[in-house]
Structure 1
Amino acid sequence: GTAVLALSDDGKRVLKFPLTFETQHCNAQVAARARSHMQESRMMLEREKEIYQHLGLRAGILAPLEISSVGLVFPFFKNGDLRVHLQKTWGEVGQDQLMLWAEEAVERISFTQSMGVYQCDISTRNFLVGDDLSLVLNDFSGSRIGDKAELVGPETSYAKALQEDQYGTVQGSMEGEVFSIGSLLYEILTGQKPYNDLGNSEITDLFQQGSFPPTSTLALGSIIRDCWMGRFSSAE
């Protein structure tokens, strides 16, 4: 991870703050690497603070309880993120709920894009499930805002093209975001990431060849495929 999460004693709040390492007794190479990680962690958290302040209070977007020099304080969501929730409840959740989650997820992303924010790491991991089962988009650590380039990239099954490093290039564009939305919808409706049983290099090779998992039997199959094929210009 790029930050530390700590749960409050009452179990109601989560503090997110930058990584810190003790380097006093490390050799020069290890110490330099640790300092680099700490600097990156601070940069990404500062970007996240900026984005939350820019987005303001809006239904479906996680609202920090506090933004300070120490870090960010958020409410705790007992249902966890959507990926974990899908894995725990798969087979129990009805199609109507899955379709509602798909609709909510795209609506949240569309709003952030309209505000000039590209998450650049779209995933079921970055949606929290509320007590009423509604989705709350969160985690803008290192995301793109305006002309400030992204500091993160997506996991392989959500990435449009091979990225030589974690920053990538395609994902900081609308084209990359739309591709990720296709994978997001696929995971919501199937409970698994695209090509979940394959390794990263195999997935990348297939994506570069324009080969994607079959979607014809899925409720939003044609939309998912159009996202992967680049036939949409935005989340709208």
Structure 2
Amino acid sequence: MAMPFTNWLWRAIIAHCNKAATFFARLLGRLRQTTVDTTVALSDRAFLIPDIIPYGEIYFQTKGHYVGTGATSFVDRLESGHIIKYPKPNPYCSEKENLCRQQMEIEAEAYKRIGDSRHVPRLIHWDASACSLVLEFLAKGDLQSYLQCHNQAVTAEQRRVWMKHAAEAVAVVHSATIIHCDVTPRNFLLNEALELHLSDFAGSSVAGSRPSITTSARFQRPGWSWEPAYADDLFALGSVLYYIQTGQEPHYDIPENEVRDLFQAAVFPDVSTLDYGSVIHKCWTGDFSNAQQIVDVLAIANLY
């Protein structure tokens, strides 16, 4: 008996649907396997930005191996070995984002003015459109961290060399009409040869511009104001020299809010037993009118 055409048609449709279902099931299984494999490959190598970002959170793509972050910028190490600094993004506040970019521009101008110097990190490249700086990498990190780890092992001779380097660095910066405004041990970097380099000019005063940063109380000149003065750096240099000699900040055992009052009253730590203690004290009392005088005094003292 012949099968009615309608029955045959329905059976043909069902058969094709079953084949299609089988095909798509296999395809979906392969896609799932691919997704799982990709997730496994990326889980320990990359962070995936979520589809829904909570308000207030900011995600960004690093330009190399993450090293650290500052108030206005991120720092990565590139495959070339150099360091790249680039401004923090802020999709919630264009004013803050523009401020970060402006401070990167100030820092770039500072490095251009200084030029090649053995006591300032070398500028490799400046990308004006991205506001990113590429600088030489200084492998031994900052002076503060280094002394926290190695203070007992550092020789008296090495400390004298560092004092000379620190003074020379400030003198070079001042000769380029730049006031650093945050001369502290954490902003001095060390290369493999343990030579000091003064870094981080994002908040500095360049050619009389208004600074956007000030240093902490233990490095801040009495009578400080937002009007930049070379004397601010000279006073701070005295505290850096003290740190080099002792591994401690001035009045380290006294609360910071009390240190300002002590400095205002010209009460400074005892330096009578330190190498070049008189130089440190004169930095604090304002007896030097420029950084080159400190360099010269240290050079003469080193002859004896």
Query: Which residue pairs with 1:18 in the alignment?
Result: 87
Q: Are residues 111 and 8 of structure 1, via their aligned partners in 2, closer, same or farther at CA, if it must alter by over 3 Å? A: closer
CA distance in 2, matches of 1:99, 1:54: 28
Structure 2: give runs of 5+ residues left out of the alignment: 1-69, 293-304
Do 1:43 and 1:142's aligned partners in 2 also have CA atoms closer than 8 Å? no
Do 2:75 and 2:83's aligned partners in 1 also have CA atoms closer than 8 Å? yes
CA distance in 2, matches of 1:3, 1:200: 24
CA distance in 2, matches of 1:220, 1:230: 16
Aligned counterpart in structure 1 of residue 226 of structure 2, from 169, 180, 184 = 169
Q: CA deviation at 1:226?
A: 1.0
Query: Which residue pairs with 2:150 in the alignment?
Result: 89
CA distance in 1, matches of 2:111, 2:196: 17
Kindly indicate which of the two structures has a greater share of residues assigned to helix. 2
CA distance in 1, matches of 2:100, 2:268: 34
CA RMSD of aligned residues (A): 1.8
**Larger RCO, structures 1/2 (Cα 8 Å, 6+ apart):** 1
Do 2:72 and 2:87's aligned partners in 1 also have CA atoms closer than 8 Å? yes
Number of aligned residue pairs: give it.
221
Aligned counterpart in structure 2 of residue 114 of structure 1, from 152, 171, 175 = 175
Do 1:162 and 1:204's aligned partners in 2 also have CA atoms closer than 8 Å? no
Query: Which residue pairs with 1:234 in the alignment?
Result: 290
Aligned partner letter, 2:144: R
CA distance in 2, matches of 1:149, 1:176: 14
Query: Which residue pairs with 1:152 in the alignment?
Result: 213
CA distance in 1, matches of 2:137, 2:288: 35
Q: CA deviation at 1:151?
A: 1.9
Q: CA deviation at 1:162?
A: 6.2
Q: CA deviation at 1:2?
A: 2.1
Calculate the TM-score normalised by the size of structure 1.
0.87
Deviates more, 1:212-221 or 1:196-205: 196-205
Overall identity of the aligned pairs, in %: 30
Computing the radius of gyration from Cα coordinates, the structure with the larger value is 2
Calculate the TM-score normalised by the size of structure 2.
0.68
Q: CA deviation at 1:7?
A: 2.4
After TM superposition, list the pairs within 5 Å mapping 1:26-175 onto structure 2: 34-69=93-128, 70=130, 71-161=132-222, 168-169=225-226, 172-175=228-231
